[in-house]
């Protein structure tokens, strides 16, 4: 019956027509194809890795040789040069991961799910580093390795969210179902990020408030701030480089 095919043909025509339109009007979709993104990701990774090394060298130099000893804490405060940037990255990477997950769910672009998968291990790593360095700072400064205050607990939950995402996407064989399940987890879990960020305001935490925020001038010496921002740039570039190399692995492995 030729009648049955009319709606299907109309639907197909509509899809082809609109996809052709978007491909023309929005160039971004060109890079949504893993195949075209692959060489670009390689170039980004190379540049980011170089910049990461430069920023890290500058940051460590400023952090250890330029920034003065802290009047109250002594030398141990130098842990913040990696602690704070690692904590920033742990939250930021999660937001980016949730963003790509949402795009992947909405537009069904394969590369989006690959980006989310590529970011998760690095995000988990920085979350662990934030907890580890915080603990080593807390012992001499607070007198304890760990307290169950809102900041530390919500950051630990972030680590479990990363682990949950990685375990979930790895344990489901069907790739599309795995990516959809992971995306849901990532999107639901993103509520934890503002909780971490504002935990020091909302609750009475042992963890101190933000020394650097969007609304106020930083409450620390200029050289200390410089060292911290250089390390933040280094971690940022490192994350980009590693995520780009990993997304290339994801693309290669998916094509097997």
Residue nearer to other proteins on the CB measure, 133 or 199: 133
Span from 75-83, 192-200, 201-209, 218-226 in contact with other proteins (CB under 8 A): 75-83
Assess 238 for contact with other proteins (CB under 8 A).
yes
Judged by CB under 8 A, the residue of 129, 193, 224, 237 near other proteins is 129
Assess 83 for contact with other proteins (CB under 8 A).
yes
Assess 165 for contact with other proteins (CB under 8 A).
no
Question: What are 42's two structure tokens?
Answer: 């390689």
Assess 48 for contact with other proteins (CB under 8 A).
no
Assess 74 for contact with other proteins (CB under 8 A).
yes
Number of residues that make up the chain: 256
Assess 151 for contact with other proteins (CB under 8 A).
no
Judged by CB under 8 A, the residue of 35, 43, 139, 175 near other proteins is 139
CB of 77 to other proteins, least distance (A): 9
Using CB atoms within 10 A of its CB, is residue 237 exposed (0-12), middle (13-18) or buried (19+)?
Answer: buried
Assess 163 for contact with other proteins (CB under 8 A).
no
Assess 40 for contact with other proteins (CB under 8 A).
no
Only one residue has tokens 């849901």, namely 184
CB of 87 to other proteins, least distance (A): 12
Question: What are 243's two structure tokens?
Answer: 């995520």
The residues binding other proteins (CB under 8 A) are 64, 69, 74-76, 78-79, 82-83, 86, 121-122, 125, 128-129, 132-133, 136-137, 139-140, 238, 242, 245-246, 248-249, 252-253
């Amino acid at each position: 019956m030729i009648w049955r095919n009319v709606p299907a043909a109309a639907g197909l025509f509509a899809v082809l027509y609109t996809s052709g339109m978007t491909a023309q009007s929005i160039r971004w979709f060109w890079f949504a194809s893993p195949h075209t993104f692959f060489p670009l990701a390689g170039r980004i990774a190379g540049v980011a890795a170089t910049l990461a090394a430069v920023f890290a060298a500058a940051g460590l130099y400023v952090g250890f040789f330029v920034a003065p000893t802290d009047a109250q804490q002594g030398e141990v405060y130098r842990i913040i040069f990696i602690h704070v940037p690692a904590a920033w990255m742990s939250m930021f990477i999660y937001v980016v991961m949730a963003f790509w997950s949402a795009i992947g769910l909405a537009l069904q672009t394969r590369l989006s799910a690959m980006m989310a998968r590529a970011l998760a291990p690095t995000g988990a790593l920085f979350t662990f580093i934030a907890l580890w360095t915080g603990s080593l700072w807390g012992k001499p400064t607070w007198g304890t390795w760990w307290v169950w205050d809102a900041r530390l607990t919500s950051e630990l939950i972030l680590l479990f969210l990363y682990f949950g995402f990685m375990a979930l996407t790895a344990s489901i064989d069907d790739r599309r179902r795995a990516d959809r399940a992971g995306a849901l987890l990532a999107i639901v879990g993103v509520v934890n990020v503002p909780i971490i960020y504002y935990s020091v305001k909302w609750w009475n935490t042992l963890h101190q408030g933000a020394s650097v925020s969007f609304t106020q001038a930083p409450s620390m010496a200029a050289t200390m701030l410089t060292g911290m921002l250089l390390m933040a740039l280094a971690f940022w570039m490192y994350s980009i480089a590693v995520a780009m190399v990993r997304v290339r692995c994801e693309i290669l492995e998916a094509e097997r």
